[in-house]
Amino acid sequence: MDPLSVFTIVGMGIVTYITRIGGDLLMRNRTLGPRMTAALNAVPPAVLTAVIAPSVLSVGPAEAIAGVVTLIAAFRLPLLATIMVGVASIVLVRSLL
Amino acid sequence: MREGQIFWREARHGMMAIFPICVAAIPIGLVWGALAVERGLSKYEIGLMSATVFAGASQFVVIGLWASPLPVIAIIFATFMINLRHIMMSASLGRNMQNFTAAQRLVAFYGLTDEVWALSEARALKAPLTSAYYAGMAIPLFLCWVSSTIAGGAFGQLLGQPEAYGLDFVFSAMFIGLIVGFRSVPAWLPVVAASAVISVLTYQVLPAPWFVIAGGLAGVCVAALMAPRATSETAEL
């Protein structure tokens, strides 16, 4: 292994661990008002949406269409079936476009 | 004996919850490993990165930056920015870890991924989160991710074009499923809509990591602004 690569990878690991423990260290033993509680409860859907939105909506029509199909499926199906619908729909839409 | 039985029951439930994520992680890991080898990482470096960083989104972005000479600072900074979202996650999840010892917390946060965290929060809505349940999710996913990325590095060229089988969309589809799993959160639709719009707009104007931060904050702010109305609605029900 290249020493500089190892240094870079370990550095990535350290900063990532800081982000993983940081929120808990900052917020521990604090009582939260209703707004802060609502904000923290919204973190899961907000952050997951922010990570994925550009790769579904900004790449092309095929990804956007398959994204809508997957979204509808997600309301009715368990997670693994939703993923399978997503993969099947992107393959289908790409073959049609 | 009874405590041991409870431990294994909790661990088993955690494993059942993470099973679909593990299945989805394998093709994502294979694709990432194949990309990493193309960019010049060795199998050992792939395994080291998956085991120390263990965060798919940032690993995909960093592979795009990997070049010779290596932009060390840019790579570490990009990793930090993309993974800053974990601060919001650990602040939120920490509230549900009252049953964890201090040492268990330190280890548990090492294994905090989008998926483990999403399922932990979902579990905490129904029953208290235990360390056994958490370990039952985090350990199998860790082993799946590390081994599938190494396998992708070793055999990835056999995959050919991942787009042909829709494998590049597994990550998106998995996230869509997880997002919909949170639809019981108050103001879910405005939160998701605000995050999506701001994330996409930021993606057009600023470099890679910022859309995650801006989009995430937008959704969280919408939830905070709508909070009083949301709580009174719940009270009426």
Does A96 contact B at CB distance below 8 Å? no
Q: Is the pLDDT of residue A5 over 90?
A: yes
| A36 within a domain of the structure (yes/no) | no
Does A87 contact B at CB distance below 8 Å? yes
Residues A26 and A46 occupy one common structural domain: no
Residues B114 and B100 occupy one common structural domain: yes
* Residue range of the domain that includes A79: 42-97
Sign of CA dihedral B15, B163, B194, A26: positive
| A81 within a domain of the structure (yes/no) | yes
Instruction: For chain A, give the longest Cα–Cα distance.
Output: 55
Does the interface predicted TM-score (ipTM) exceed 0.85? Answer: yes
Residues B59 and B166 occupy one common structural domain: yes
Mean pLDDT throughout B213-231?
A: 83
The predicted model scores a pTM of 0.77
| A14 within a domain of the structure (yes/no) | yes
Contact in structure between B146 and B44 (CB atoms under 8 Å):
no
Residues A62 and A89 occupy one common structural domain: yes
Residues A21 and A52 occupy one common structural domain: no
Residues B76 and B99 occupy one common structural domain: yes
Listed by number, the residues of chain A in 15-74 with a beta carbon closer than 8 Å to a beta carbon of chain B are 15-24, 26-28, 34-58, 63, 66-67, 70-71, 74
Q: Do A42 and B178 touch (CB under 8 A)?
A: no
Residues A90 and A60 occupy one common structural domain: yes
Q: Is the pLDDT of residue B16 over 90?
A: yes
| A17 within a domain of the structure (yes/no) | yes
Res B208: pLDDT: 65
Res B230: pLDDT: 45
Q: What is the number of helices (H) and of strands (E) in chain A?
A: 4, 0
Domain end point (choices B182, B198, B229): B182
Query: What does the mean pLDDT of chain B come to?
Result: 88
Task: Please count the structural domains in chain A.
Answer: 2
Res B210: pLDDT: 81
Rounded CA-CA distance B205/B164 in Å is 30
> For the ranges A51-55, A58-62, B161-165, which has the lowest average pLDDT?
B161-165
Residues A55 and A85 occupy one common structural domain: yes
* Residue range of the domain that includes B224: 185-237
Q: Å from B129 to nearest chain A CA?
A: 16
Q: Mind listing the pLDDT tens digit for each residue in B180-211? A: 988 988 899 999 999 999 999 999 998 766 88
Output the CA–CA distances (angstroms, integers) from residue B118 to A62, B17, B135, in the order listed.
27, 11, 14
Residues B205 and B237 occupy one common structural domain: yes
Rounded CA-CA distance B20/B2 in Å is 29
Contact in structure between B90 and A23 (CB atoms under 8 Å):
yes
Residues of chain B found within 8 Å of residue A94, distances taken between Cβ atoms:
163, 166
Rounded CA-CA distance A90/A65 in Å is 8
Task: Please count the structural domains in chain B.
Answer: 2
Q: Mind listing the pLDDT tens digit for each residue in B121-160? A: 999 999 999 999 999 999 999 999 999 999 999 987 787 7
Residues B192 and B226 occupy one common structural domain: yes
Mean pLDDT throughout B213-237?
A: 73
| A64 within a domain of the structure (yes/no) | yes
| A91 within a domain of the structure (yes/no) | yes
A29 C-beta neighbours (distance < 10 Å), count = 5
* Closest-approach residue (CA) in chain B for A86: B173
Res B55: pLDDT: 92
Residues A17 and A60 occupy one common structural domain: no
Domain end point (choices B137, B155, B182): B182
Mean pLDDT throughout B207-219?
A: 84
| A37 within a domain of the structure (yes/no) | no
Mean pLDDT throughout B33-44?
A: 90
